[in-house]
Amino acid sequence: MIQIFQFSNFNSKYDQDFVNQFREYKKLHELNNILQELSYKVFKMVKNKQIKPYHKWIPNITPEQVFEDMISFNDIKILNDYIYWSELRPAENGRVALVCQNDKGEVFDVLPADVNVRTRVHEYGGICWEVGKRNVFYVNFNDQRLYRSALKGTESPVPLTPERNEDGSLGKYAAPILAPDGKMLFFVYEKEFMEKENENYIACLDITKNAIQEPEIVVEGKDFYFDPIISPDGSQIAWLQYDHPNMPWNSTELVLADLKYNSIVLGSEKIIAGGEGISIGAIRFNHNDHIFFVMDEESQPEESPKNWWNLYQYYDGEIRAITQELAEFGLPMWGFRFMSWDFLPSSERIVANYEKKGQSFLALIDPITRVLETLQSPFDDYYGIQAYSEHEIVFFGNSFNKPSTLVKFDLQSMTYDIIKSSFTNPLSEQDISIPQHLEYPTSDGKRAYGLLYLPKNKKYVAPEGDKPPLIVMVHGGPTARARRVYTLSKQFWTNQGYAIIDLDYRGSTSYGRQYRDALKGTWGVIDAQDIKDAVNFLLQQGIISQKVAITGGSAGGYAVQRVLTLFPDTFQVGASYFGIGNLITLTKQIHKFESRYIDWLIGKSLSDPEGEQIYKERSPINHLDNLKSPMILFQGKDDKVVVPEVSREVAEILEEKGILSEYIEYEGETHGFRKKNNNIDALTREADFFHKVLFETK
């Protein structure tokens, strides 16, 4: 017989105690049911998987799928409700196309299929196109000339600059900007010479002339220039400048000058911010012709806002701080117009991306009250922010679990429309490894950071006690950061049982100036130690096995070669992409932009007798006798940053010494591989090499 109690009839204290006990029992009973159901689901999930050691996992994605339809986004400009952007297309022989979405939502290429919109200024390039009311102006990579092309009609592109200047130099152009009246085009101008160092200027062209012409130089005298901008009323022009041995993230000057009839008024130039030890970037005029920028200073305490790239305004002869956060609102200027913020049209509010403790955030800032409001957004990273309307912005949105996308984002509803995705995702959610931000101690009592990816594959589970092999990934900086973006190349590795640590060693960006400057004079020392410490930390935590590989490109390739020779017992194999084995060879052949950067990184000039000894000591090529690990090297034949001779030297010595190695050099590739087939080949070779060394070689 079942008796049903009506709780409302209980009146005594003892009755109430019984009720409370009954309710508690009921909660536990319900929880037990939930746990049983969850256990059953987990059991089913594991039951449906094969039990295999990590190194025997077969990935659900191939190198061909990684690069199948991949594109990379760069640079956004909005004009009359039309959205323009550029995209790198590996499947089209690595060319950069200029693309548009019109006010009807239609997406199309702006220029002919044989145009590659890319500049070689500083060899790293950056934005090299500008859109006006009727025409687009751009640099074609094949000859580096400036062209004009009508936005409507079938007119062929028209060259504006000569194949060669009268002095024999090759003209190169970047960061073009039209004057408000549309008659003059201003830009960064670099003359490339065969027998002497390149020369850099701010220059302009009168685009009303229907003739090929050499640019008119309007600003000269400094080693480098960045990002000329013009006020909305056309009365002022501003730019960034600096001299050797500095880099744009070390010491820059912000210059403001008057414009009259599209000419700089002689003697009106004045440095309004910056100087020794002060880095400025991301400069913009607001709609009231006031200039805003990001700035930080060296030798500031970590807890000082001046240690971070905060936002500032120059107004009426004074500099005013807009933000005072322990966060980064800027990026290192390896290219031109690296923008992470913009003004909303009428309210003058600022919408910005900022980075803090390894995370990116979207924020609204009132420049008058200086109140910052962080927005809850579905993205993990934001790049190229441009205002579309008072409550809409356009940017490249990155996430850890879906492809990078060009999106129009509504700041009121926090919803977005995808304009274009960077690739079609072939993986299911059960295959995607999402990283965690890792902070770990270094052997000298400091700290460093990284993104830790663990193996994930819907078909497999590792046997109890098995630990995954590790791939250490080193970004190409030295001043850069681990990318907060979903990449199929990383999933290719985690899907076949590898763990990945994508490192932000000291010197990386997004952790403040003090952290970035820690690499000064210590390149090849503290970064190498931070890499080793990361591996030791993961081993101590019991996360990984003793099977450790390392891969990286450019400065990351240098790190690969450096740690393999410095810590031969820590790593079993390495892949160096256009890496640096001999710092002396690099220094003697390097391009102008970075020709003195190595002085800062090493702490001495090569011309200094003491400096030469340090260069030799920190060059991996001089320590190959310590090498125990096989190495695979990749190089672009047309690389002007790390020239092929640098990699060939190492490859020859490895062969002479009989060390297991491979050297692959790709025709037509520069610094960073752009062609689809070459990327597929490199990833295939790297994966085969790693597996052979780690799991097949005894």
Pick from 695, 680, 693, 691: nearest CA to 61: 680
Residue 2 burial (CB count, 10 A): 3
Task: Give the HSE-up count for residue 150: Cα atoms under 13 Å, Cβ half-sphere.
Answer: 5
Q: Answer whether the bond into residue 435 is a cis peptide, omega within 30°.
A: no
Q: Any residues with CB less than 8 A from the CB of 684 and at least 6 apart, and which?
A: 63
Task: Give the HSE-up count for residue 46: Cα atoms under 13 Å, Cβ half-sphere.
Answer: 11
- Cα separation, 694 vs 698, whole angstroms: 9
Q: Any residues with CB less than 8 A from the CB of 423 and at least 6 apart, and which?
A: 68, 69, 70, 71, 403, 488
Residue 173 burial (CB count, 10 A): 26
- Cα separation, 97 vs 89, whole angstroms: 7
Q: What is the predicted pLDDT for the residue at 53?
A: 97
What is the CA 200 to chain-centroid distance, rounded? 25
Task: Give the HSE-up count for residue 69: Cα atoms under 13 Å, Cβ half-sphere.
Answer: 9
- 297 token code pair: 């200073």
Residues of the chain by 3-state class (helix, strand, coil), percent to 5? 25, 35, 45
- Cα separation, 510 vs 201, whole angstroms: 30
Sign of CA dihedral 15, 20, 21, 25: positive
- Cα separation, 45 vs 398, whole angstroms: 30
Contact 119, 126 (CB under 8 A): yes
Helices (H), 388-455: none
The Cα-based distances of 66 to 69, 322, 373, 600 in angstroms read: 8, 42, 38, 37
Angle, helices 526-540 vs 555-566, to 10°: value is 70
What 3-state DSSP class applies to 652?
helix
301 backbone dihedrals φ, ψ, rounded to 5°: -60, 150
What 3-state DSSP class applies to 328?
strand
DSSP labels for 182-196?
A: SSEEEEEEEEE-SSS
Give the largest CA-CA distance in the chain.
Answer: 108
- Cα separation, 204 vs 242, whole angstroms: 20
Length of the chain: 698
- Cα separation, 283 vs 341, whole angstroms: 10
Residue 187 burial (CB count, 10 A): 27
- Cα separation, 633 vs 647, whole angstroms: 7
Running along the chain, 698 residues long, what does each successive block of 10 average in pLDDT? 33 44 52 51 61 97 96 95 97 97 95 96 96 96 97 89 97 97 96 96 95 96 98 97 96 97 94 98 95 97 98 95 97 91 90 92 96 94 94 96 96 95 96 97 97 98 97 93 94 98 96 97 97 98 98 97 97 97 93 94 92 96 94 96 95 94 96 96 98 89
Q: What is the CA radius of gyration of the chain?
A: 28
Residue 424 burial (CB count, 10 A): 10
Q: What is the predicted pLDDT for the residue at 357?
A: 83
Q: What is the predicted pLDDT for the residue at 471?
A: 98
What 3-state DSSP class applies to 540?
helix
Residue 23 burial (CB count, 10 A): 11
Q: Measure the CA dihedral 678/333/218/287, to 10°.
A: 120
442-447: list long-range contacts, CB under 8 Å, 24+ apart: 442/506, 442/526, 442/529, 442/530, 442/533, 443/529, 443/532, 443/533, 444/526, 444/529, 446/506, 446/518
CATH level 2 (architecture), domain 426-696:
3-Layer(aba) Sandwich (3.40)
Residue type at 304? S
Residue 360 burial (CB count, 10 A): 20
The Cα-based distances of 582 to 179, 587, 644, 646 in angstroms read: 46, 9, 12, 6
Q: What is the predicted pLDDT for the residue at 48?
A: 79
What is the domain partition of the chain in residue ranges? 1-30, 355-424, 426-696
DSSP assigned state of 651: H
